[in-house]
Every structure is written in C-alpha cells, then in structure tokens.
Amino acid sequence: MSEDRLPRIGISIGDLNGVGLELIIKTFSDPAMLELCTPLVFGSTKVVSYHRNAIDMRDFNFNIIQNPEDAVEGKANLVNCWKEEVKMDFGKVDPIVGTYAIKSLEAACDAIDAGSIDALVTAPIHKESIQSSDFQFSGHTDYLESRYKSKATMMFLSEDLRLALATVHIPVSKVSEAISSNLVEQKILAIHKSLKQDFHLPKGRIAVLALNPHAGDKGVIGLEDQDIVSPGIEKAKEAGALAFGPYPADSFFGASTYTAFDAVLAMYHDQGLVAFKSLTFGEGVNYSAGLPIIRTSPDHGTAFDIAGQGKADPGSFRSAVYGAIDLYRSRKGTAEISANPLKIKAKKKL
C-alpha cells in the first residue's frame, strides 16, 4: 500500500433497526468526506437498499466489494458481509437483527487486525438486541476489551473538552463502592498516556472531579474525596501525571474551569456526561482510549424513536469519523517519532 494513501476507516453499521445506516449514508453523501478518508462500511447491499428507500436517498450509491483490500479511494465502499435477507422493523428490539450488528462489528475488527483498515468507527448498537449465547457483552467497549486483551478508558472528545469516566454503566448506588484510590490512579495514568500518544500532549493537565458535592466539605458531606480520590491523584502525580483536584463538579463546569485543562476525569457517568452533552451535543465523540486499535463512535444511541424517518442528525457521527482520522494520523506520528529516537551520546570523562 502507498504510504501517502488516505486513511482507511472501517465502519460497523450498528443496529439495523436504528439510525446507524442513515448516519453513514448522510455522512458520506458529502463528497468532501471522501477527500479525507476511504470509508469501508461492513454490511450488506440488501440492508443498505432498505435504508436508502426509507430515508429517500436512493441516489446515493456504495462501491460494492467482497474484500476490504479491494476498497477504492474517492468512493464509499461497502464490504458485502452477508447475502441473506434480514427482516427489519425500524425502532424495534430484535435479537436476530442484533446478530447482524455483531457480524458487522466482527468483520470490521477482522479487517483492522489484518491491516486492511486503519481505524474503526462504530454506529450505535442496542444493548438488549445484541445479547445471545455467543455474545454476552454489554456493548462495544466490553467486547473490544475482551478481544484485544486491553482495558479501555471511555473518553468523550469535542473541540474544547476531553472528558473521561472513572466508572461507566453502573447504578449510582454502586458508584461509591466502585471508586478506589487505585482506580483513580489508573484512570489518570491512562488519560496521561492517551494525551501523549494520541494528542501529542506529553505534559497535558488533567483535572479530577470530586465524588461528593463541594468535594465533601472537609468530610462534612462524605469522606471519599479526602480518603480515596485525593490519594489516587497523589499516586498518579508520583508516577509522572500532571493531575489536579478534586474539584467540585458543579462550579468546575459552571465557571468554565475545564478550559484550563487538557482533560477531565469524572467519577461517574452522568456527572461527566450531563455537562459534556450540554456543552457539545450533536458534535461529541466517544473514544475508547487505551486499546491497541483506534475506535470512535457518536455520543448517542440507536435513536429508535426516529429510525427510518430521515430525521437523524449526522453531526456526531461525522465528528467520530473526523476523530478517527485525526487519531490515526496522531498515532502514526507518535510511532514514527518513537521508532527513530535521537541517540544521546555519553559525555567523555575529563
């Protein structure tokens, strides 16, 4: 392959009853996107035809290929992964449809493992429809962690904010017991590594949000921040990370303090994402930091309520593609720098 070729971005189509294919079609109907990357969508011609008709975009055409190696630059490529008919019903949870979402994901991962694509963008899947005896993961991240024997840190990206989560999809009642000093330290160091490797920020500043209101008010509203979160921050500092906090979450975002940092670590899902989505909704990107592969996705779900109606906004999905391109180029640059380090000559003794 030519070294100056466009990045090849593999795309899994997500739940067939959701908005995934609508987002993909709308994104790559813009010719400017094909000047930035070569997309490879893993699905089937029959499924695509069903979605095109539903959203009245019959003029959009994929370049149909059987093997990822045959992708053509300047075109939106569709890797035909199955030929059988699949019964679809927009907005419905269907475990049979869910198996095809997994087929698309596995085919895309096979391609990235083979070096046929450079990064992966995943359209939204439905956590209920994907469950089966063969697939017992809560979502993309769990599956990718298992497949690549790595621990991912869920990070959300926008132009002005990088936000990671210490805990993800667990009940609020379980958050406090899930937070430990070791977890806080590990997440800070994972963010530190990602800032260096993925964003070329070797001295990136990381803010850590407090678990309790007002950071516990010196123990009046809980001891977790002084007994657990703060020691985790100190351990991460000792390991080389520029970490600060814990900061009360409400004033941190309300006073725009986040603009002084390169990344933010939130203790739980809604603590971070309510603020992130309020600031960036429609343009945010979900990034699985820490994996050996690059994987991004839009910051929303299957949107069953508007599936098949042509109403889906492709903004976040388009941003996920942009993010995958940027991360690929950044990692490539990091690898090139690391492969040819300057040799430091030993000083001669006088």
Three-class SS of residue 67? coil
Three-class SS of residue 35? helix
State yes or no: pLDDT of 2 exceeds 90. no
Which pTM does this prediction carry?
0.90
**Residue 225: C-alpha distances to residues 4, 34, 215, 220, 230 (Å):** 49, 48, 6, 11, 6
Band of residue 189 on the pLDDT scale cut at 50, 70, 90 = very high
Band of residue 22 on the pLDDT scale cut at 50, 70, 90 = very high
The whole-angstrom separation of Cα 13 and Cα 62 is 14
Candidates 328, 317, 284; CA nearest to 156 is: 284
The whole-angstrom separation of Cα 70 and Cα 176 is 50
pLDDT, tens only, 62-80: 999 999 999 999 999 999 9
Identify which has the larger pLDDT, 283 or 264.
264
Fold adopted by 153-285? Isopropylmalate Dehydrogenase (3.40.718)
The whole-angstrom separation of Cα 143 and Cα 145 is 5
pLDDT, tens only, 32-46: 999 999 999 999 999
pLDDT at 169: 86
pLDDT at 337: 65
Domain ranges of the chain: 1-150+291-350, 153-285
Q: For 191, list phi and psi in degrees, rounded to 5.
A: -65, -45
**Is there a shared CATH topology between the 1-150+291-350 domain and the 153-285 domain?**
yes
Band of residue 1 on the pLDDT scale cut at 50, 70, 90 = very low
Q: What is the mean pLDDT of the chain?
A: 93
CATH code linked to domain 1-150+291-350: 3.40.718.10
State yes or no: pLDDT of 333 exceeds 90. no
State yes or no: pLDDT of 342 exceeds 80. no
Tokens representing 326? 């940027």
Question: Mean pLDDT across the stretch 293-297?
Answer: 97
The whole-angstrom separation of Cα 190 and Cα 212 is 23
Burial of 245 (0-12, 13-18, 19+ CB in 10 A): buried
What is the Cα gyration radius of the chain? 22
Using DSSP bridges, classify how beta strands 153-157 and 295-298 pair: parallel, antiparallel or unpaired: unpaired
State yes or no: pLDDT of 28 exceeds 90. yes
Cβ-contact 201, 240 below 8 angstroms: no
Identify which has the larger pLDDT, 59 or 349.
59
